[in-house]
Amino acid sequence: MSGTPEWQALADHFAKVRDMHLRDLFAEDPGRAASMTVEAADLVLDYSKNRLTGETVRLLVAAAERAGLRERTEEMFSGRHINVTEDRAVLHVALRAPEGARIDEGGADVVPEVHKVLERMASFADAVRSGQWRGFTGKPIKRVVNIGIGGSDLGPAMAYEALLPYSQRALSLGFVSNVDGSDIWEATAGSDPEETLFVVSSKTFTTLETIGNAKTAREWLLSSLGDPASVRNHFVAVSTNAKQVAAFGIDTANMFEFWDWVGGRYSFDSAIGLSLMISVGPELFRQMLAGLRAVDEHFREAPLERNIPALLGLIGVWYNDFFGAETQAVLPYDHYLAKFPAYLQQLDMESNGKRVTLDGEPVDMATGPVVWGTPGTNGQHAYYQLLHQGTRLVPADFIGFLRPAHRVGNHHDLLMANFFAQTEALAFGKTPEQASAEGIPERLVPHRTFPGNRPTNTILAPELSPRVLGELVATYEHKVLTQGVIWGINSFDQWGVELGKSLALRIVPELTSEAAPELGHDSSTNALIARYRAARRP
Ligand code: F6P
């Protein structure tokens, strides 16, 4: 990409606009906010508080077209194997395709399969919610614990929390991911095994953390219920790997299937969302799918300059590759979206944290940023200082809602006042002249000046409903695709997680075996392991 005339045009343009200030851009164009606001489905994106002009957007769109964003999008939607290093289709969009749509993969239409699994999930979720599904001793289920990690945890955990106001409160949900025994310990402490259902979620069903936690959960169950036959009532599996599910001892009649064409981090709306569906019910889960679908259609059809996911992706590229920004903050002004940044970390960083192109050549530009964030207003009293006055450029997405989940006093007005105030303060700052005019003593003026020109996107939606949550997730999924296409990388593999995994497997016996095998690592790792081994001795 970097050798193309479109990229060069962006570089030339950058040299002209890099020092422009948002104060001037707004002063010069009273219609700026209106022309830089896009609406799609239930979402409104105002990207006017970014350091760009209409020409920037035109050039970014030209770069996206040159990179083949449209073609790659169509390839994805039509089941082509765009995950080239794993020779797989990338069809999370099929998970929300309507009945009657047709998407072929491996010579077969996958949409009927998707709906078949959705139906099975719905019957099961209804059975658990209604108390018809019983534990081994005949008690209804009151606690559901999803055991999974990465994409088999972050999505359902995030969405469960996001949709808590819509959940069946009599059912408590827990999410166990960490191999640290404290996680399963806390998730089971105080729970009644007779009333607990474990949903073991793993695409591969070989993931060390998940299988380890599932074994411990089974021991916990059996230490109380005794009879191995009880596993059938208290364990279900979500996986692509029926063989491993059976090997673990879960009846494949209690397995909910998904497919290798759903990437782990793109899977929360597949059967991986089973625990979420149990919590909110099949109807609201379907509303969430409709939200995802609405943004899929928008992304596929809207012109790129009016296309919310594409614009977010392109604006991100602008800061990442021209301004040299290294991070991207995501700041949801909604308590229930506390886990959304963590979910996006995997979605974005596992997808676009790549250093070679699709052809295996080194990428000659910066790829995925470090994604982070926490809900407003908490961040304001923690790290926003750096956003306002630090030396780094931190582009930020602000996500807010017109209506709160709960009308508690004037809390929502206070929250949203902060939401609007922050993007205004970041964009326009406070000049030394303004500070002086406020009577600030001269020696303090530099400290109390705000440079402004700190870029933000504002995403507004009516309320955090299941449908809107789906829209937000699809927006970021397609943002990630947009950026991956520009950088020419494979956003759908994750080889970078493998080395640590295989080294850990090699180290396990070095920690646990009585024979204390000789250590063949570097001097640092050897010494650290030796110290651990010494401490482990009785
Ligand atoms: O190690 C990374 C990863 O493969 C993620 O991509 C995936 O979401 C996670 O592990 C869990 O994998 P699985 O669902 O197969 O247990």
DSSP codes of every residue in 222-286: HHHH--GGGHHHHEEEEES-HHHHHHHT--GGGEEE--TTS-GGG-TTTGGGHHHHHHH-HHHHH
Note the pLDDT of residue 77. 97
3-state secondary structure of 312: helix
User: Catalytic residue positions?
Assistant: 350, 381, 501
pLDDT by position in tens, the chain (length 538): 899 999 999 999 999 999 999 999 999 999 999 999 999 999 999 999 999 999 999 999 999 999 999 999 999 999 999 999 999 999 999 999 999 999 999 899 999 999 999 999 999 999 999 999 999 999 999 999 999 999 999 999 999 999 999 999 999 999 999 999 999 999 999 999 999 999 999 999 999 999 999 999 999 999 999 999 999 999 999 999 999 999 999 999 999 999 999 999 999 999 999 999 999 999 999 999 999 999 999 999 999 999 999 999 999 999 999 999 999 999 999 999 999 999 999 999 999 999 999 999 999 999 999 999 999 899 999 999 999 999 999 999 999 999 999 999 999 999 999 999 999 999 999 999 999 999 999 999 999 999 999 999 999 999 999 999 999 999 999 999 999 999 999 999 999 999 999 999 999 999 998 888 899 999 999 999 999 999 987 6
Is the CB–ligand 1 distance for residue 337 below 6 Å?
no
Q: Closest ligand 1 atom, CA of 154?
A: 8
| Ligand 1 centroid, distance to 263 Cα (angstroms) | 9
Pocket test of ligand 1: the residue of 203, 208, 239, 257 to mutate, having most ligand atoms within 8 Å of its CB, is: 203
Is the CB–ligand 1 distance for residue 404 below 6 Å?
no
Alpha-carbon distance of 405 to 164, in angstroms, equals 10
Note the pLDDT of residue 65. 98
Give pTM, 2 decimals.
0.97
CA 175 to chain CA centroid, Å, is 16
Q: Closest ligand 1 atom, CA of 498?
A: 1
Is the CB–ligand 1 distance for residue 207 below 6 Å?
yes
Pocket test of ligand 1: the residue of 147, 178, 206, 207 to mutate, having most ligand atoms within 8 Å of its CB, is: 207
Note the pLDDT of residue 125. 98
Is the CB–ligand 1 distance for residue 241 below 6 Å?
no
| Ligand 1 centroid, distance to 271 Cα (angstroms) | 15
Q: Closest ligand 1 atom, CA of 151?
A: 8
Q: Closest ligand 1 atom, CA of 264?
A: 8
Is the CB–ligand 1 distance for residue 271 below 6 Å?
no
Alpha-carbon distance of 275 to 177, in angstroms, equals 14
Q: Closest ligand 1 atom, CA of 204?
A: 15
Note the pLDDT of residue 524. 98
Is the CB–ligand 1 distance for residue 263 below 6 Å?
no
Note the pLDDT of residue 9. 98
Pick the residue whose CA is nearest to atom 3 on ligand 1. Answer: 150
Is the CB–ligand 1 distance for residue 270 below 6 Å?
no
| Ligand 1 centroid, distance to 258 Cα (angstroms) | 14
Note the pLDDT of residue 516. 82
* Buried-state track 20-36, b at ≥16 Cβ within 10 A, e below 16: eebeebeeeeeebeeeb
Q: Do 145 and 175 touch, CB atoms closer than 8 A?
A: yes
